[in-house]
Chains A and B, each alone.
Chain A
Amino acid sequence: MSSSRRSRQASSRISDDQITDLISKLRQSIPEIRQNRRSNTVSASKVLQETCNYIRNLNKEADDLSDRLSQLLETIDPNSPQAAIIRSLINE
């Protein structure tokens, strides 16, 4: 029992450290949290929440931009290299 508890705690400790690191990494990537809250006590749930929102916003932005680029693609010569560039961006 104690051994299992210890192992459980060990594993949880490791993953806790990992999770903390990852959460801090996420925090750095998200401009909202990084700029607004300079404290080290941002809760994990808040970070995760902001991450989800940020990813959604980025997806939306990417869709919007790809729409724009597809429109632009129509306006230029389809055989030009710029068209190839735009197409590659849109497909991604």
Chain B
Amino acid sequence: MPLFELLRLTKANLESAQDRNPSPPVDEVVELVWKNGQISTQSQSTRSRNIPPPQAIHQASSSRVREIGNSSKTTMMDEIPMSVPSLMTGMSQDDDLVPWLNHHQSLDGYCSDFLQDVSPVTVNEQESDIVVNQTVFPLFQRQNNGNESAPPAASSSQYNSFQSHSVYGSDRAREPTSQQAKPDRFTQTQEPLVACNKPGLINFSHFLRPATLAKPNNLQGGNEKSPQRSPNVFQTRVLGAKETVDKALNESVASATPKDNQKACLISEDSCRKDQESEKAVVCSSVGSGNSPDGPSESPSLSLKRKHSDTQDIDCHSEDVEEESGDGRKETAPSRAGNGSKRSRSAEVHNLSERRRRDRINEKMRSLQELIPNCNKVDKASMLDEAIEYLKSLQLQVQIMSMASGYYMPPVMFPPGMGHYPAAAAAMAMGMGMPYAMGLPDLSRGGPLVNHGPQFQVSGMQQPVSMPMAMPRVSSGGFFTGSSMMDMNKSDDGSTRDLSSSKDQTKNNNSLKPIKRKPASSDQFSGSS
């Protein structure tokens, strides 16, 4: 998912930065990277470069054969185009993404590797001793003024970093252990990228690295691989159509190894960027649930999916256990009661069934108690009380977070015609979220849900966002505050501090005054000020 977000952002950046590509960027990039004969980054004549196919093919195939180990080569190849174009093109186009990547160290294993490679941007070494890069380097040097430091564009710098990594691949001693694998991957990816000699290439290699990160990396850039495979691999890609690649991706994803699945998930996510994010995550998780990904490198969706399946299994198992125990008791009861009278037998049966029911309930209460954090109550009633409160707070928290993520994540979702209204609506959501975010810690202790409700003024704001019943009193005030917060951020009038406090309604009111930039929202706010 993190990678998916990066891809989405870079894609957006790419689209905005480059207007040279009339066709959809994804398709374009895919074609660009993988069109064997002519790896043109933007499918434009200006950038198209024709690399001798056999060279690129051989190099790529050879490297790939080594890394992948022959089995999932198509998988990797398929993964590459989807992931490479969007992210790397975006990165090449936008330097801002680089610091983003560098900062994003909490990603999965391959992602971290991915980022580490990005950081040493200026490390460019001209060691063209690597066999793999021999054909590539001259091309690269020709195109990018060599690998010297301070490359003019981020893409070239990134490319240089990749080059350096590939160079390092041949010389392991120079690289830290953690990065040794990367150069190998890079060497493998270098060939197609270098051949293209474009930002798209860099993107490709960048993505190729994570894709191949899972694979054993003994790639030394040798050319010993059988070139025969390369044509097939490339041909799959040469198709160029995004849909085709997607199909190949999906197929490869279905049959890929666990690690491949993780990457494939990212790639499939990337390919389905236009679709809803949830769908992608679901797809990814569904793909990966069947496998056993590594702990550190598994994507969040996969881990969540796995956990969910585990919990489901536990629930089913517990239910089965209960039923079995109940059946066992049922069988013993009649045998025992047969000796006594009917009444005693019925009473005994009743007692047994009652006991069974109570045991079941107690068991569930115990499991519920385990779920609730900091629950030291032994009394059933108080424990249930706490469970109810915890459940409500959880509902609230999830709703707020979903609102926040919905507001922050798709900034381009709102049609331009809507103007500031959706922003205001989202701001309102955030406003709702802020007070409750502060109040959530109180909620866990059993505090009232509308702690901060009265603190917010009620304005004549509409309520585009439907809030749960638990927050009736805060609705208007919260919306008001949220919109004010939104504008506060942009007005830079020093009222941003209110966001953290969220309890000083006076400040919030004052902050509204400078907010006159948005006519639509200001009209709504003017009521309160």
Decide: B404 and A89 in contact? CB cutoff 8 A: yes
Decide: A45 and B357 in contact? CB cutoff 8 A: yes
A80 at the interface (CB under 8 A from B): yes
In whole Å, how far is B401's beta carbon from the nearest beta carbon of chain A? 4
Interface string of A64-90 (1 = CB under 8 A from B): 111111111011100011101110110
* From B106, B368, B381, B401, contact of A55 by CB (8 A): B368
| Cα–Cα distance between A26 and B365 once the two chains are bound (Å) | 12
Decide: A89 and B380 in contact? CB cutoff 8 A: no
Interface string of B368-410 (1 = CB under 8 A from A): 1001100000011100110110111011011011101100110
Decide: B500 and A55 in contact? CB cutoff 8 A: no
| Cα–Cα distance between A29 and B381 once the two chains are bound (Å) | 16
Chain A residues contacting B401 (CB-CB under 8 Å) are 62, 65-66, 68-69, 89
In whole Å, how far is A32's beta carbon from the nearest beta carbon of chain B? 12
Interface string of B400-434 (1 = CB under 8 A from A): 11101100110000000000000000000010011
| Cα–Cα distance between A25 and B1 once the two chains are bound (Å) | 37
* From A26, A57, A63, contact of B388 by CB (8 A): A26
Decide: B315 and A26 in contact? CB cutoff 8 A: no
Closest B residue, CB atoms, query A72: B408
Give residues of chain A (14-61) contacting chain B, Cβ–Cβ below 8 Å.
15, 18-19, 22-23, 25-26, 29-30, 43-45, 48-49, 51-61
Closest B residue, CB atoms, query A80: B489
In whole Å, how far is B472's beta carbon from the nearest beta carbon of chain A? 16
With A48-B361, A49-B319, A81-B499 already in contact, the answer to whether A55 and B380 are too (CB < 8 A) is no
Chain B contact-residue range equals: 35 or more
Decide: A29 and B392 in contact? CB cutoff 8 A: yes
In whole Å, how far is B306's beta carbon from the nearest beta carbon of chain A? 11
With A45-B357, A60-B307, A81-B489 already in contact, the answer to whether A72 and B405 are too (CB < 8 A) is yes
Interface string of B93-118 (1 = CB under 8 A from A): 00000001001101000000000000
Decide: A45 and B5 in contact? CB cutoff 8 A: no
With A19-B381, A60-B308 already in contact, the answer to whether A71 and B5 are too (CB < 8 A) is yes
| Cα–Cα distance between A67 and B524 once the two chains are bound (Å) | 33
B335 at the interface (CB under 8 A from A): no
In whole Å, how far is B371's beta carbon from the nearest beta carbon of chain A? 5
- Interface of B with A (CB < 8 Å)? 1-2, 5, 9, 100, 103-104, 106, 281, 300-301, 304, 307-308, 311, 315, 319, 357, 360-361, 364-365, 367-368, 371-372, 379-381, 384-385, 387-388, 390-392, 394-395, 397-398, 400-402, 404-405, 408-409, 430, 433-434, 437-438, 440-441, 485, 488-489, 496-497, 499-500
Chain B residues contacting A61 (CB-CB under 8 Å) are 398, 402
Chain B residues contacting A57 (CB-CB under 8 Å) are 308
Chain B residues contacting A19 (CB-CB under 8 Å) are 380-381, 384
Decide: A55 and B390 in contact? CB cutoff 8 A: yes
Chain B residues contacting A74 (CB-CB under 8 Å) are 100, 103-104
| Cα–Cα distance between A56 and B390 once the two chains are bound (Å) | 12
- Interface of A with B (CB < 8 Å)? 15, 18-19, 22-23, 25-26, 29-30, 43-45, 48-49, 51-72, 74-76, 80-82, 84-86, 88-89, 92
Is chain B's interface secondary structure helix, strand, loop, or mixed overall? helix
Decide: A25 and B388 in contact? CB cutoff 8 A: yes
In whole Å, how far is B323's beta carbon from the nearest beta carbon of chain A? 11
Q: A26-B391, A52-B367, A57-B308 are in contact. List 13 more A-B contacts (CB 8 A).
A: A22-B388, A23-B384, A43-B357, A48-B365, A48-B367, A55-B391, A56-B311, A65-B398, A67-B300, A71-B104, A80-B496, A81-B500, A88-B434
Chain A residues contacting B1 (CB-CB under 8 Å) are 67-68, 71
Chain B residues contacting A65 (CB-CB under 8 Å) are 398, 401-402, 404-405
Decide: A48 and B408 in contact? CB cutoff 8 A: no
With A15-B380, A89-B437 already in contact, the answer to whether A45 and B391 are too (CB < 8 A) is no
Closest B residue, CB atoms, query A92: B440
| Cα–Cα distance between A58 and B395 once the two chains are bound (Å) | 7
With A70-B106, A88-B438 already in contact, the answer to whether A64 and B391 are too (CB < 8 A) is no
Decide: B409 and A68 in contact? CB cutoff 8 A: yes
Closest A residue, CB atoms, query B310: A56
Decide: A86 and B384 in contact? CB cutoff 8 A: no
Decide: A84 and B500 in contact? CB cutoff 8 A: yes
Chain A residues contacting B385 (CB-CB under 8 Å) are 22
